[in-house]
Amino acid sequence: MSFILSGIGVSRGIVIGKAHVLQQDALEVREQHIAIEDVDQEIRRYQQAVDVASRQLSAIRDQIPEATRKDIVEFIDTHLLMLQDSSLVHVPAQSIREQQCNAEWALKLQQEALAAVFDEMDDPYLRTRKDDVNHVIHRILRILISGAQDQGSVGFDLAGTIVFASDLTPSDTVLLHHQGVAAFVTEFGGPLSHTAILARSLGIPAIVGAHSARRYIQDNETIILDGEQGLILAGADAGLLSHYRRLQDAESDRRENLELLKGTAAITRDGVRVQLLSNIELPQDMERTLAVGAEGIGLYRTEFLFMNRPDIPSEEEQLEQYRSVIQAMEGLPVTIRTLDLGADKKVDSGPLPERSSSNPALGLRAIRLCLKDLDLFRPQLRAILRASAAGPTRIMIPMLSNLQELNQVLSLLEETKEQLRAEGHAFDPHLPIGGMIEIPAAALTAPCFAAKLDFMSIGTNDLIQYTLAIDRIDDEVAYLYDPLHPAVLRLIQLIIQAGQAADIPVSMCGEMAGDPRFTRLLLGMGLTQFSMYPSSILEVKDCITRCSKREAQQQVESIIACNDLQEIHGRLDSLNQDDKRCR
Ligand code: PEP
Ligand code: MG
């Protein structure tokens, strides 16, 4: 039977492949007493499940490519070590024998006992290890419950598959990418979540917010996924399959044509030079950045270096990573953003607050977290400054909401420079300091920030979230997430004008900058620096070369003055009218 499901298409591309359905929901544990004569057999069943879990993890570890960061491997190693620990190997076996309970129940009892021990700990870092223990126990439980052998569990044979999950964290997405998934679908999550951003950045076609998809999709069935339209087609007949294969061919032709723009400059028809920069999450993204000829890095999201690992990267490790990116850019500027952890960007190691906030996007996130935890922030400032000796580097502060925060960062930077000087470390004493303007309060007071900063970058993902009061990761309100809302456009305009008045560069690094539908509008508003995930660069360049800034400017004023959302959309359509590729 064929059917179509829909969700929010967040990363373009058509994939035809086999479904792999991840069942991550809470597992129901059967609690049963067993007969004394069955005890040995039950202990063997438990031990076999632990062995299978170890083999699964070792296989995942072996699938991680050589070039991959060693921290991912270390993260898996930690879990492998837990599987050898007496608390997971012997204690449940002992409970099976002494209490004559089934293996699942014995493991559940041990999970509760371990949780109580972790909860007693004073050290917040050690307390967070509870999550690791739970992950490992969850894996063993899944094997016990499903009777799975080596195959079929999370992390296996994912290469080339379309993964269906309830939800994925950004760190899960990195792992899936390493395992070579072809595409993914989640039942929850919004188009501006970091998971969606990462999918675009890694070039993995993806759909989010496809409610209940896992109820209808069978493991291993052939699926067509259209990441642009947000469509999932199951049970397609030969005609439909060949239609989508033709679309795949057309897409690769389009990409090939765009490749021709690689070596050319982004100049509008009326001669305005635009700078196209790349957003990266990890040094591995450099390959794509260089392949499309980006003119620098406009946003390096350093928090990704802190994910999928049990520890916090040291100053030296950070230095090595930042320096490798700066060297790879061979003299082009690299904008390193200081840690923006919190909200949907979670890590396995300690820095995030223990108590989960009921409004994490409004909580201890980004610069707020760094200023509270200087042991976390100082090594990063040192690493960025030291890396700046390797080539043109800029530092950028996320989520500034008031000038006090900026002043604190500026004095910490001065202090750090003094220390580095005293220690004889080289760095760029004139390292440009920029701020992300992504909170409405900062946008409204942009001239004050512009007076103290060397550059500003507009973070539209958060600016829209906070202006319109829409959680960017909540698919239920994704329909309200509109970059064309007049309030958003006016804030963007304020920031650009504040930069022009203070004579400092203003770029945009939110997703709006990489969407060709908005290129003319932004050019008309006076933006000349756009930073985006690498695979969008050539497309936006294509749009720039075919438009005139002067013409765009004339129409933009009326768009910004307009209060009606529908009318704004209509006017944008007519601005883009002569060019199908920008619609
Ligand atoms: C933004 O908010 O627009 C931005 C670029 O930062 P992030 O998506 O990492 O929050
Ligand atoms: Mg942001």
CATH number, domain containing residue 167: 3.50.30.10
What is the whole-number distance in angstroms between the Cα of residue 459 and the centre of ligand 1?
5
The pLDDT of residue 26: 56
Could you report the per-residue pLDDT of 207-233, keeping only the tens digit for each? 999 999 999 999 899 999 999 999 999
Task: Tell me the pLDDT band of 152, cut-offs 50, 70 and 90.
Answer: very low
Atom 9 of ligand 1: nearest residue by CA position? 301
Quote the CA–CA distance of 204 and 182 in Å, as a whole number: 6
Element (H, E) at 232: strand 231-234
Percentage, residues of the chain above pLDDT 90: 68
Is 43 inside a domain boundary?
yes
Same domain, 116 and 190: no
Count: domains in the chain: 3
What is the whole-number distance in angstroms between the Cα of residue 461 and the centre of ligand 1?
5
Quote the CA–CA distance of 11 and 184 in Å, as a whole number: 10
Which one of the ligands is nearest to 473 CA?
A: 1
For the CA of 465, the closest atom of ligand 1 is 2
By most ligand atoms within 8 Å of CB, the mutation choice from 365, 401, 438 for ligand 1 is 438
Is 252 inside a domain boundary?
no
What domain range is 44 assigned to? 36-146
The pLDDT of residue 120: 79
Residue that is last in its domain, among 189, 218, 237? 237
Please give the angle made by the CA atoms of 520, 522 and 523, to the nearest 5 degrees.
Answer: 65
CATH number, domain containing residue 93: 1.10.274.10
Torsion 370-376-377-380 (CA) sign: negative
The answer to whether residue 90 is catalytic is no
By most ligand atoms within 8 Å of CB, the mutation choice from 461, 464, 471, 472 for ligand 1 is 461
Same domain, 285 and 432: yes
Q: What is the mean pLDDT of residues 99-126?
A: 84
| Res. 345: pLDDT tops 90 | no
For the CA of 459, the closest atom of ligand 1 is 3
The pLDDT of residue 559: 95
The pLDDT of residue 151: 37
What is the whole-number distance in angstroms between the Cα of residue 54 and the centre of ligand 2?
38
What is the whole-number distance in angstroms between the Cα of residue 394 and the centre of ligand 1?
17
Element (H, E) at 11: strand 8-11
Q: What is the mean pLDDT of residues 259-267?
A: 94
Same domain, 368 and 474: yes
Same domain, 191 and 303: no
Task: Tell me the pLDDT band of 46, cut-offs 50, 70 and 90.
Answer: very high
Quote the CA–CA distance of 499 and 403 in Å, as a whole number: 16
Q: Whole-number mean pLDDT of the chain?
A: 89
Is 248 inside a domain boundary?
no
Residue type, 517: R
The answer to whether residue 135 is catalytic is no
| Res. 531: pLDDT tops 50 | yes
| Res. 343: pLDDT tops 80 | no
The pLDDT of residue 153: 39
The side-by-side arrangement of strands in the sheet containing 206-208 is 3-6, 231-234, 222-226, 14-21, 162-165, 183-186, 206-208, 8-11
Task: Tell me the pLDDT band of 154, cut-offs 50, 70 and 90.
Answer: very low
Same domain, 346 and 295: yes
Same domain, 219 and 300: no
Locate all alpha helices (DSSP H) within 208-307, ordered by sequence: 213-216, 238-259, 286-291
Quote the CA–CA distance of 538 and 543 in Å, as a whole number: 9
Same domain, 94 and 136: yes
Task: Tell me the pLDDT band of 172, cut-offs 50, 70 and 90.
Answer: confident
Percentage, residues of the chain above pLDDT 70: 91
What is the whole-number distance in angstroms between the Cα of residue 358 and the centre of ligand 2?
19
36-40, 242-246, 341-345, 472-476: least confidently modelled range: 341-345
140-154, 213-227, 329-343, 348-362: least confidently modelled range: 140-154
Q: Are 433 and 390 in contact (CB under 8 A)?
A: no
Same domain, 402 and 334: yes
Task: Give 17 or 177, the one with higher predicted confidence.
Answer: 17
- Which of 20, 177, 178, 509 is catalytic? The answer is 509
Residue that is last in its domain, among 189, 221, 237? 237
Quote the CA–CA distance of 366 and 437 in Å, as a whole number: 13
Task: Give 329 or 70, the one with higher predicted confidence.
Answer: 329
CATH number, domain containing residue 320: 3.20.20.60
Residue type, 373: D
Is 272 inside a domain boundary?
yes
By most ligand atoms within 8 Å of CB, the mutation choice from 436, 456, 515 for ligand 1 is 436
| Res. 10: pLDDT tops 60 | yes
Atom 6 of ligand 1: nearest residue by CA position? 459
Same domain, 319 and 447: yes
Is 372 inside a domain boundary?
yes
What is the whole-number distance in angstroms between the Cα of residue 243 and the centre of ligand 2?
39
Same domain, 17 and 50: no
Q: What three-state secondary structure class fits 130? A: helix
Task: Give 494 or 130, the one with higher predicted confidence.
Answer: 494
Is 382 inside a domain boundary?
yes
Element (H, E) at 114: helix 103-120
The pLDDT of residue 97: 93
Q: Are 207 and 227 in contact (CB under 8 A)?
A: yes
| Res. 190: pLDDT tops 90 | no
- Which of 79, 177, 178, 194 is catalytic? The answer is 194
Atom 8 of ligand 1: nearest residue by CA position? 461
Q: Are 238 and 230 in contact (CB under 8 A)?
A: no
> Strand runs (DSSP E) across 328-454, as ranges?
334-337, 393-397, 433-437
Is 390 inside a domain boundary?
yes
Is 250 inside a domain boundary?
no
Same domain, 158 and 78: no
Same domain, 142 and 164: no
- Pocket lined around ligand 1, Cβ cut-off 6 Å: 197, 299, 301, 340, 438, 459-462, 509-510
Task: Give 351 or 363, the one with higher predicted confidence.
Answer: 363
Could you report the per-residue pLDDT of 265-281, keeping only the tens digit for each? 999 999 999 999 999 99
Whether the model clears a pTM of 0.85, i.e. scores above it, the answer is no
